[in-house]
Amino acid sequence: MAATTRSTIVAVARRANVSPSTVSRVMNGHTTVDPAIAERVRAAAQELNYSPSPLARSLVLGRTQTVAILVPDLANPTFQGMLRGLSRAAARSNYRVLVADSLETVSEESLLAGELRRSSDAIVLCAPRMPADRLLEVMPSLAPAVVINRDDPRLAAPTLSADYEAGIRPLAEHLYDLGHRRLAYLEGNPHSSSNTSRLRGLDAFCADHPDVSLDRLPGGVAFEHGYAAADAVLASSATGVLAFNDLVAMGLLAAMHERGVAVPQDLSITGFDDITFARYTTPALTTASVPDVELGEQAWVRLHALLVGDAPADDVRVLPRLEVRGSTGPAPTRASGAAASSD
């Protein structure tokens, strides 16, 4: 029968002729123990094949060796990439990652964040839907924390984000250069800060190109939202569509295929994020690439600095990179080509 943690500590203490508390201090790395005694304790622990309980260690040190991340939708490959980068980097420092999904429920984000922080040493908050005032209100109680997908200068925490405002411009310019003048934008979550940034970029694009007509259509963040928007896209007579993200674009691609609308001959479609699947759609998806795994890794670099009392590195703001693939092509000769093809 395996010995309990307490009895094992007692056994080590007896073998080393010290108190159990001295064993605990040595095992937890305290330097106040006499080196000769510490060596005797480590030798006794090795002889008895003793290793401290992680739970007991966390209670003694006041640390869990766990950090948390809150995301709005774990089904979204973009957030999976951020989690992958964070988890791999944290593991190299012997930290585990606790994950929670707010299921796109804005009202739950701050509550979940508080619960996660109480169960971990620090938190990475990916809450693009949380209102700015609420985010500023809860941040002091979450420290140490790092924020992804927000770049509010008022945040007293390291931030990592993509420049969605600048990132959507090359997509729109690409369609313009192909001759498209009637465009549609499938919006994301109206509460999303990244959706607001994209809209600012498109407003600036339209101001620079007065010959362009841009319709803003209700969309969403998932495959089914793009699929459901097909009729509205066709009714708009747009020849080029900018979807909020790759999942929405893929849903729209599927719906157009079912309707016999040729992409890109009748309708050009762009996504955003460049998730792994984007290059494997038919046709492959033109999109703006965001280095989600790298953002997760860099989030850990800053979080670890906070945990050990160092100054974190500067904030990160990456510029998405245009990836031109097969889902975009020259505008059809008739402005209503997409709609006509669906008859």
What does the pLDDT look like over 186-216, one tens digit per residue? 999 888 889 999 999 999 999 999 999 999 9
**Inter-residue contact 129 to 72 (CB < 8 Å):** yes
Chain Cα centroid distance, residue 343:
40
Percent helix, strand, coil in the chain (nearest 5)? 45, 15, 35
CA 162, 307, 67, 102 torsion-angle sign: negative
Please report the DSSP string for 239-285 in residue order: SEEEESSHHHHHHHHHHHHHHT--TTTT-EEE-SB--GGGGGSSSPP
pLDDT at 101: 92
262 burial (CB, 10 Å; 0-12 / 13-18 / 19+) is: middle
* Percent of the chain topping pLDDT 90: 66
Q: Which of 119-128, 211-220, 314-323 has the lowest mean pLDDT?
A: 119-128
**Inter-residue contact 178 to 268 (CB < 8 Å):** yes
Q: Does residue 48 surpass a pLDDT of 90?
A: no
Instruction: Give me 245's structure tokens.
Output: 């993200």
Mean pLDDT of 233-238: 97
pLDDT at 105: 82
| Cβ atoms within 10 Å, residue 324 | 14
pLDDT at 335: 45
For the whole model, what pTM was predicted?
0.79
**Inter-residue contact 162 to 318 (CB < 8 Å):** yes
pLDDT at 191: 83
pLDDT at 2: 42
Mean pLDDT (the chain) is 89
| Highest mean predicted confidence (pLDDT) among 98-102, 151-155, 272-276 | 272-276
Instruction: Give me 107's structure tokens.
Output: 């009202």
Mean pLDDT of 130-135: 87
- Terminal C-alpha separation, the chain: 75
Which of 307, 295, 297, 292 shows the shortest CA–CA distance to 67?
Answer: 307
Buried b (16+ CB within 10 A) or exposed e, 172-210: bebbbebebbbbbbbbbbeebbbbbbbbebbeebeeeee
Residue that wins the pLDDT comparison between 305 and 53: 305
pLDDT at 110: 87
Domains of the chain, first to last: 5-58 (1.10.260.40), 66-163+293-320 (3.40.50.2300), 164-290+323-341 (3.40.50.2300)
pLDDT at 151: 83
* pLDDT tens, position by position, 140-173: 999 999 999 888 889 989 999 999 999 999 999 9
pLDDT at 30: 66
**Inter-residue contact 196 to 129 (CB < 8 Å):** no
pLDDT at 25: 76
Residue 9 corresponds to which amino acid?
A: I
Pairing of strands 321-323, 287-289: antiparallel
Mean pLDDT of 84-88: 96
Q: Does residue 113 surpass a pLDDT of 70?
A: yes
Mean pLDDT of 29-34: 74
How far is the C-alpha of 319 from the C-alpha of 170, rounded, in Å? 11
